[in-house]
Structure 1
Amino acid sequence: MKKTLTLTLTSALLMGSFNLQAASLDNTQKQEVKDLVRKTLVENPDILVEAMNELRKKEVAVQQKSDQQILSAKSNDLFKNSDNPVIGNPKAKLTIAYFTDYNCQYCKRQDPILRKIAEDNPNVKFVIKETPILGPASTEATQYSLATFNQQKDKYTAIGHRLMSKPGKHSSSSIKAAFKAEGIDVNKLDINAAVAKQINDNLKLFQELGLRGTPAIVFPDEMLRGYTDESALKEMIKERT
């Protein structure tokens, strides 16, 4: 009983609501409660861990509710934008949005996992949201990549794989070398208004979703912020197909 009371009080302290809950106590009673909490925490430090875990659960629940609301509002932009490249079966049951940057080291690990899943599972496809957030080289690579998608769709997948396969960050010269290796002349690519619009739309959507980095994998009902291993992704896909 004492432990439960102290856990409740500790949770209130951590959440900044203790002053409201203790408003009806006089100063002596307030001090007694604080002394009880302090003494019990010293004797049973595991209570603090429990309180932090409870607080984290509440934070996660609030985040999930917020995520679901924004995902519902932005569903068409996320999953039904015909201007975005897609990997996997176009008629797949499950559509997942993927925010990525060619200079992101975790994206370089995530990318081959998604490609393998799309290749092996006809029930899933990934909508690629190229999101150049890591500097001028990221923007340059994305401009050329999306221009390739618009003009030579059959080469888009290959150039994306080559750009991602380079260890470390890209420079302008390494980007051009990658396109040259795939037989694409960057001087003939049209970096037009459509390319600029898609990049701007992706960046805007990225911000509206509250994302802060890449990779980000967005299911219709959940957002994964950061790198996710293959087994976890497969399990989530299995639950939804």
Structure 2
Amino acid sequence: MHHNPVFIKNLSYRYPDGTMALKDINISIKANDKVALIGANGSGKSTLQFHLNGIFLPQTGEITIGEWKIKDENLADIRNFVGLVFQNPDNQLFMPTVWEDIAFGPMNRGMKGNELKLRVLEAMEAVNIDPEIYGSRNPDNLSGGEKKRVAIAGVLAMQPQVLVLDEPSAQLDPRSRRQLIHLLDQLPLTLIIATHDLDLAWELCDRTIILSQGQVVYDGKTDKIMSDYAFLEQHSLEAPLSFSRPYCNLEDKPELSLL
């Protein structure tokens, strides 16, 4: 029995056209870890995410999520345990009001009455959305940042242990992005964040996994890899701005050498 909520062993996956999307992936993630999953387009990030809640089933190797191996008969439990937040919130929001959108998952599971109401209120509170103001609004009329928070609330309402987010800061203005980083930082859950936004990865995640052509090429401390420009460039990634701005370079502060 693995006490790690995510345990991936020798996972490989080939698309029907013969393309190897994942090659022999081994990853173990501990409870409440916040892990960045980065890699250029086509590196296998999305394919790996789709394996985490059984949208794709392993062809080779195995995945254990919580106490369940990923296979058909466990998918309901696994999807309770792992919440997936897609890149585009419009793919996740489809009800006429914010309240109904957030209530949709738990209601689908048979929750009703006061219990349901409380569950929705807690999820809204977690993402800092005021039910009085937003509950009856149509998600179509919200800003990108608000939509993103409603989509996260809808997943939190299912009370998952693991949250998998795909490009959470995509299409957000700087203020919404800042609020989102703060929100994700506060959540007492295991987070797996697939992102091109390496500054967000650096701020939120102690650990970074880099995928390249379907293989794990780095799995370790975030701050160690973010300053390795050559390695990042080799895998078509840009170093985070916080590292590449010369005045942020701690080793080389001229005013310190005058002391």
Q: What TM-score bracket applies, with the shorter chain setting the length?
A: under 0.3
TM-score (norm 1): 0.23
- Give the TM-score, by structure 2 length: 0.22
Structure with greater strand share of residues: 2
Larger radius of gyration: 1
